[in-house]
Amino acid sequence: MSAARNLPSSGGRGSQHLKHDLGQPDGTVGLVLTAGAAGTVTGSLLVAPLRRRFGFGACWIGSVALAGVAVATLALTGRPTEVGALVVVWFCCVSVGGICSLSLRQEVTPEHLLGRVTAAFWTIHFSLGGLGAAAFTWLAQGHGATVAFALAGAGCLAVALAALFTAVRHPAPA
């Protein structure tokens, strides 16, 4: 059960949405998380051809935007199959975006600085994760998973929109 609580959408509320809001058993939660793992593998297999065809900017921004749409759409779901399909999309997009980001850092960072740059990136990237998880858990408890999913999805879309006004939008921002 503890692994199910870590479903990344909305501070772990995804599995609670399945269990409590949709009344699904632990087995269904496990199947949805398995589907998410399949999404991760799919994203990792797709990222190289997607990046070759569309470039970094389109892949990264597109993956963040599509992930946002998937999370926001969770606010409208009422069936476990819909949740499972959206979790596949979400995990696939996170995989594509993460691999794009990691590979770009490796391409543009001098080898002697790569360890320090990577450590600084992950420190900054995850430093507010605990606060975000607490905030979205509080939001979901007080206002429901629907509101939490909608706001989390909107946040992803805002990041993708902001990226359109930066060097990230270029096919090869290096």
User: What region does 79 belong to: left with phi over 0, alpha with psi -120 to 50, or beta?
Assistant: beta
pLDDT bin (cut points 50, 70, 90) of residue 80 is confident
pLDDT at 39: 96
Distance, in Å, from the CA atom of 118 to the CA atom of 16, rounded to the nearest integer, reads: 33
Using CA atoms, how far apart are residues 88 and 41, in angstroms rounded to an integer? 10
Q: What is the pLDDT of residues 20-74, one digit of tens each?
A: 676 777 888 888 889 999 999 999 999 999 999 999 999 999 999 999 999 999 9
Predicted confidence at residue 17, as pLDDT, reads: 63
pLDDT of residue 9: 42
Ramachandran quadrant class, 65 (left: phi over 0; alpha: psi -120 to 50; beta: rest) = alpha
Structure tokens at 100: 């794009």
Q: Encode pLDDT of 89-112 as tens digits.
A: 999 999 999 999 999 999 999 999
Give the pTM.
Answer: 0.82
Give the tens place of pLDDT for each residue, 115-126. Answer: 999 999 889 888
- Give me the pLDDT at residue 10, please: 37
Place of tokens 């589907």: 35
Q: Lowest mean pLDDT: which of 6-10, 61-65, 127-131?
A: 6-10
Q: Judge whether residue 8 has pLDDT over 60.
A: no
Does residue 163 have a pLDDT over 90?
yes
Which of 12-16, 51-55, 84-88, 158-162 bottoms out in mean pLDDT, i.e. has the lowest? 12-16
